[in-house]
Amino acid sequence: MDADLLKEWTLKKIESNPQLYGGDNGNPAIIKEYLSELHKNTKVEDVPLEAFSKSVAVSRMKNRLLELHPQLDYREKYKPKHKRHYVKPQEQSPSLFDDVE
C-alpha cells in the first residue's frame, strides 16, 4: 500500500469510528485493524516485519490526521498539548548531506 492509499485508509477508519480510532486507545486499535485486514488468518510470528513497520506508520499517520481533523479527535489522556510545526520539504534548510552547488 503506497502512502496515499495508507492515508486514505487511515482517514476512512477514523471517520468510521472516531470514538475508537480517534480516542485514547486509537493507536493500538488502528494497528490491530491494519494488521488484521491485511494479514487475515496469519499467525503473528508469520507476519512480515515490514507489516509491523507499516502498522506503526499508520499509527503516526492517524495522529497527524487527528491534528488536521480536530472534530474527529476524542483523545483526552494522550491529546498533544501543542500542535506540531510542520515544515514543508522545500522550506527546510539544506542538511550536511545535501549536495550544495
Chain mean pLDDT for the chain:
86
Provide the pLDDT for residue 81. 76
End-to-end CA distance of the chain: 36
**Quick check: 14 and 72 in contact, CB under 8 A?**
yes
Amino acid, single-letter form, for residue 20? L
Per-residue pLDDT band at 84 (split at 50, 70, 90) = low
Tell me which of 52 and 90 has the higher pLDDT.
52
Name the pLDDT band for 89 (thresholds 50, 70, 90): low
Provide the number of structural domains found in the chain.
Answer: 1
Residue 46: give the domain boundaries: 1-101
